[in-house]
Structure 1
Amino acid sequence: MPGVIWLLMVLQALSMSIAPLFFFAGGIAGNALAPRPALATLPVAMVILGTALSVVPLTRLMHTFGRRAVFLGGAALATAGALLAATALMQAHFGLFCLAGLLTGASVAVTAQYRFAAIEAVAPEQVGPATSRVLLGGLLSAYLGPELVVWGEWAVNALPGDRAASEHNAFIGGFLLMALIGLLVLLILALAYRNRGTVAQDNHAEGRPLREIFRQRQLWLAVIAAAMGYAMMSFVMTATPLHMHSVDGHNLLDTKWVIQSHIVAMFAPSFFSGWLIARLGPTRVIVAGTLIYLACIGVALSGRELLHYWWALVLLGVGWNFLFVGGTTLLPLCHRPAERFKVQTCNEFAVFGCQAVAALSSGWVINTWGWNLLVLLSCLMVSAILLALWLNAPRARAAGTA
């Protein structure tokens, strides 16, 4: 792999740490700050909404100015979001905390583009492994993000001056440490990352219109696999810390362990998912991810002890990896180089738009109807992937015969 792939993997690890930190802190701190219980997961939902709203303008900015300038802006947004989140918790201000979620979401939208920068840096046969390498950075973010909460109490106590004790001190310190990590990412990008190729190399070659491109059933499979995979992951994962800690009474350390294990499970399969795609093809990997999601639903419905949550969230993470890497690898096979920005824009808007709807509805469903119905509603997302696979089955059989 070219050196830029390893650089992007490190940047992914550091930049993505803010997402698990906010997902861990958002539901618990949000539950304490929200004016009513149904809004407890709104800060987490704002992260995903910020991501969805940022996708289109960010992609257009990349088309005009190149990826490096936007990556630098994303690191600055992550730093600002972390500082605003710490300030909101210090002041116990729910609205500010939600605004911090929006800024964080915009930075996550930028980080999600690292995988496309990796795809552009390698030969077509290396697309799957390159995508998996970059996503491996999520392993460190899975540990680092929630772990910042453990170090947060120490960070707050190390600050000069006297401060009143607060139930949110651990989260405040965690976000302050995340702001320092954001500054480190900004420095690495400024010194080490450069754009690949010319900035506006496709301005005079717009390619086919979107309606023609989206006549391909394979493209629909790529988008639906990634979008529904992300939606179910967000729907279940957003509700889990709140339900585990506030409803079922599991302690904070057990809740942190489940969330960390889930995020590790999201990225650890990247050690071998690229190899699986090279051997089996992206469609079969998407099938495997769908089956794992069905197993996740079965485990989540079977009980609410610690290990039920742990196994369900681990299976949720592995299924997400297979669906997301499979869909991302399939996407470049469906468009020409000149069409990449507009197809990537549609894909990212679908992925993060569906994730935003799932996250926004998760808090309402878990508070109104409970855990079992939330898990059963996840079947709708799996059904959409199964339908896309069924519609692609004749083409897949023909390709296998050939």
Structure 2
Amino acid sequence: MHGENALKQNIILLACAQALGASSGPIIISLGGLVGQKLSSDPTLVTLPVSVYNLGLALGTLPAAYVMRRFGRRSGYLLGATVGLSAGLIATIGIYWASFLVFCAGTFASGFYSSYVQSYRFAATDGIEGPMKGIAISAVMVGGLAAAIIGPQLVIWTRESVPGVPFAGSFLSQAALALLAIPVLFLLRKPPPAKREGATASGGRPLREILLSPRYLLAVAAGLVSYGLMTFLMTAAPIAMVGMGHSVDHAALGIQWHVLAMFAPSFLTGPLMVRFGKERITAIGLAIIGCSAMVALAGVDIGHFWISLILLGLGWNFGFLGATAMVTDCHTPEERTKVQGTNDFIVFGTVAIASFSSGALLSSSGWASLNWFVLPIVALILVPLVWHTKEKTSRA
């Protein structure tokens, strides 16, 4: 009973930390490109602050995995929140100094913080086995629903709060959120070890062997495409909206609806995975991302942008959470940190590339080209995923 209470408490605390930590993303995504426009004279670099945020996230995954393996989840998360506090302050200084380089350094450091935040979903499954892992992942990701409100609303409330320095207040609020996360994370407790037949005290299989597993490769590919394509479109969307004559507030609200759609379904995603299977839910998510691109291709009114972003968020939720649950089926407790860290390094490395290429392609080819690019990539992963699902069903 004591162990069960510790698991429940950790899930609640991780959901709260998710609400605070995940709020940084919408702030950077909503304002990073707009601040980039003010500070950079090169139009191809306007999304660089968002891109280096994703780069920091990718580069931070393996060091975060090492820190957590060496010192434990709680110590790692406290270090991450401290980095997040510093990152918000650095970005604010960059805006004050009108320094594009310093501002990008702040968003890059925010990415390091997010590499810890992203692993909250895996931490929720520590000590849990079987179908309940998907429910635990979804429960923590519900915290992102609060982030979907907190982040964009802070942009609207604080972007003019510092006289003469637009957007500085929003990045100060980002630092404050990381500060609030520290006492929450301090309350985390070490969960009891999961009971698993055949478990050993060793570090498990060599990483190379796991990487060559078709099941693991498919799980990583599904997460990579779900998150990569979502970032590819979301990074460019605020710039495209403003470029099409829509207001900054409309762009921020579009991101808010998008992030709400990313996390609101988490109430149902876990039970749906238990009912229909992780692979089916992941496949549905990828299909919805394809539908998002088709809506965006239908027009550039504010309704087209918002509906496309909502579908993009919904598709991400099903695709990425399903892929995350697929990854947790591919390792033993002894292998979890290296397998999860490698998965996130691959996924968020691709996300960083997608973010970098998004701004350049938007500048050179336009919003429609980005959405045409999405459709064949979705099909490339959707076909083997559907085939694998049918194979799994036929063996059951």
Q: TM class by shorter-chain length?
A: over 0.9
Secondary structure in structure 1 of the residue aligned to 2:58: helix
* Root mean square deviation, CA, Å: 1.7
- Write the letter of the residue equivalent to 1:65: F
1:377: how far off?
1.2
Between the aligned partners of 2:367 and 2:111, the Cα distance in structure 1 is 26
Residue in 2 aligned with 1:322? 318
Is structure 2 residue 38 aligned with structure 1 residue 42? no
Is structure 2 residue 203 aligned with structure 1 residue 206? yes
1:153: how far off?
5.2
Q: Superposition pairs for residues 155-234 of structure 1, below 5 Å?
A: 155-156=161-162, 165-166=164-165, 168=166, 171-190=167-186, 192-197=187-192, 204-234=201-231
Secondary structure in structure 1 of the residue aligned to 2:329: helix
Secondary structure in structure 2 of the residue aligned to 1:2: helix
1:149: how far off?
2.0
Q: Superposition pairs for residues 268-287 of structure 1, below 5 Å?
A: 268-287=264-283
Between the aligned partners of 2:261 and 2:20, the Cα distance in structure 1 is 18
Between the aligned partners of 2:89 and 2:208, the Cα distance in structure 1 is 42
Q: Superposition pairs for residues 265-344 of structure 1, below 5 Å?
A: 265-344=261-340
Between the aligned partners of 1:358 and 1:217, the Cα distance in structure 2 is 24
Between the aligned partners of 2:145 and 2:14, the Cα distance in structure 1 is 14
Between the aligned partners of 2:297 and 2:313, the Cα distance in structure 1 is 17
TM-score for the superposition, normalised by structure 1? 0.92
Residue in 2 aligned with 1:161? none
TM-score for the superposition, normalised by structure 2? 0.93
Residue in 1 aligned with 2:68? 62
Which one of 347, 351, 354 corresponds to residue 347 of structure 2?
A: 351
* 8 Å Cα contact 2:44-2:363 kept in structure 1: yes
- Write the letter of the residue equivalent to 2:319: L
Unaligned runs of 5+ in 2: 1-6, 194-198
* 8 Å Cα contact 1:224-1:384 kept in structure 2: no
The 3 A distance-change label for structure 1 pair 302 and 332 is: same
Between the aligned partners of 1:231 and 1:142, the Cα distance in structure 2 is 19
Residue in 2 aligned with 1:103? 109
1:186: how far off?
1.1
Between the aligned partners of 2:290 and 2:306, the Cα distance in structure 1 is 16
1:387: how far off?
4.0
Residue in 2 aligned with 1:237? 234
The 3 A distance-change label for structure 1 pair 154 and 358 is: closer
When structure 1 is superposed on structure 2, of 213-222 and 74-83 the one drifting more is 213-222
Is structure 2 residue 77 aligned with structure 1 residue 71? yes
* 8 Å Cα contact 2:225-2:377 kept in structure 1: yes
Which one of 38, 57, 63 corresponds to residue 32 of structure 1?
A: 38
Between the aligned partners of 1:364 and 1:371, the Cα distance in structure 2 is 11
1:138: how far off?
0.7
Residue in 1 aligned with 2:120? 114
Between the aligned partners of 2:311 and 2:86, the Cα distance in structure 1 is 33
Between the aligned partners of 2:71 and 2:191, the Cα distance in structure 1 is 12
1:204: how far off?
4.9
* 8 Å Cα contact 1:2-1:121 kept in structure 2: no
Between the aligned partners of 1:394 and 1:312, the Cα distance in structure 2 is 29
1:390: how far off?
4.9
Between the aligned partners of 1:75 and 1:214, the Cα distance in structure 2 is 30
1:175: how far off?
1.3
Name the % identity.
Answer: 38
Cα distance per residue 1:109-154 (max 9 Å; x no partner): 0001111110114342311111011111111111111211222157
1:394: how far off?
5.6
Secondary structure in structure 1 of the residue aligned to 2:269: helix
Cα distance per residue 1:142-173 (max 9 Å; x no partner): 1111211222157436xxxxxxx23x1xx211
Between the aligned partners of 2:159 and 2:347, the Cα distance in structure 1 is 35
Residue in 1 aligned with 2:135? 129
Between the aligned partners of 1:266 and 1:394, the Cα distance in structure 2 is 27
Cα distance per residue 1:312-340 (max 9 Å; x no partner): 00000000000111011111211222211
Between the aligned partners of 2:83 and 2:377, the Cα distance in structure 1 is 31
Equivalent pairs counted in the alignment come to 385
Between the aligned partners of 2:291 and 2:383, the Cα distance in structure 1 is 18
Which one of 261, 276, 287 corresponds to residue 257 of structure 2?
A: 261
Unaligned runs of 5+ in 1: 158-164
* 8 Å Cα contact 2:19-2:144 kept in structure 1: yes
- Write the letter of the residue equivalent to 1:302: A
Cα distance per residue 1:274-323 (max 9 Å; x no partner): 11001000011011112111211110100000000001000000000001
The 3 A distance-change label for structure 1 pair 345 and 203 is: farther
- Write the letter of the residue equivalent to 1:194: R
* 8 Å Cα contact 1:143-1:260 kept in structure 2: yes
Between the aligned partners of 1:97 and 1:194, the Cα distance in structure 2 is 35
The 3 A distance-change label for structure 1 pair 391 and 215 is: farther
